[in-house]
Amino acid sequence: MMLLVGGISQAQVSIPTENGELTVFKHKRVITLEHRYTEMVLSLGIIPVGVADIKSYMDYDGVFATKLKDTKDVGRRAAPNIEAMARLKPDVIIGTYLRNTNAFALLQKVAPTLLFSYIQVPEDHKSPLNQMLYEFNLVAKALGKQKKAKEVLKQYQQKIAKARQTITQLKAKGLLKSDRIAIAQFLPGSPKVRLFTTDSVAMDALKQVGLKPAWQVKAGEAGMGYLTVGINTLRPLGVFNFFYFNERSDDSQLQRTIHSKLWQSFGFVKADLAFELGQKSWPWGGPVAVADFVLQITDILVKKSHQHAI
């Protein structure tokens, strides 16, 4: 259907959501309230007029972040500034059920609002990775960017194929000490970690390239692709590749942990298979960030394999 709005012909599209069909126009004034969707919109060639927690996005996800120099910050992801958003006159707002459900009615008054499951495990038990890619295609449809989306997804598949080939070659040459892997985020100031479960986007993607979860636990519908646990949970897992990151690289609790006798007693530490990732490691992102995360992991394993071969 074509509608005439303000003298300009614009295509109207319907997007399926958990709250029913949402009608949006393929306009370009977008506000994003979560890093994943900021990245998705940027990767589709559109610069959002407003972004929540814009500094956090630049610090952690960071994909195409330089393009946000003129974008307005609209408050926190969980508590966006409705008045600031209204002043930007957006055509569509993209957020999450996790953070924005309570504000949904107010957001709808500003502009048609798309809320996604984000890192909450899908109730229909779909693959979390497939759910993320499905969301990406819906965002592209809402913005009239399906052609660009195909290009982005082609690049994603090429990166995953490259990573899969790399892991296959390392296995064939016997250069992997282990093909098992675990991912964790250390919480600032806490001895606990967010340990990624088998039903997370990151572990889903890593399984695609031939790596196996060392921690065979699902978070389930109540989880978000990870569970918060003490580091002793890692002890029974034995020897595996352990990748970890922290919101603050200078976190004193993290430093105490990785220099403790407990840490040094773990099998993966003794095998020299503990790897600290950089701050710009964002396993909760869209196709670009997830593919880059997988390549970051495989690159580290390649470097380690060279040491193993000597």
Domains and CATH numbers, the chain: 2-118 (3.40.50.1980), 152-309 (3.40.50.1980)
Rounded Cα distance between 294 and 299, Å, is 9
Looking at residue 4, what is its pLDDT? 24
**φ, ψ (nearest 5 deg) of residue 205:** -70, -40
Looking at residue 252, what is its pLDDT? 82
Q: Where are the alpha helices (DSSP H) in the chain?
A: 35-43, 54-60, 82-87, 97-100, 104-110, 128-142, 146-172, 201-208, 252-258, 261-264, 267-270, 287-309
Rounded Cα distance between 196 and 202, Å, is 8
Looking at residue 25, what is its pLDDT? 61
Cβ neighbors of 161 (< 8 A, separation 6 or more) are none
Looking at residue 307, what is its pLDDT? 77
Q: Along the chain (310 residues), what's the average pLDDT of each consecutive run of 10 residues?
A: 30 66 71 96 97 92 91 96 96 91 93 87 75 93 93 98 97 94 90 92 96 93 85 96 83 87 96 90 93 96 78
Looking at residue 122, what is its pLDDT? 63
Cβ–Cβ under 8 Å, residues 252 and 120: no
Which residue carries 């990732």 as its tokens? 277
Closest CA to 242 of 218, 217, 263, 219: 263
Rounded Cα distance between 244 and 285, Å, is 17
Looking at residue 82, what is its pLDDT? 96
CA distances from 196 to 54, 213, 220, 237, 280 (A): 25, 9, 12, 14, 17
Looking at residue 37, what is its pLDDT? 96
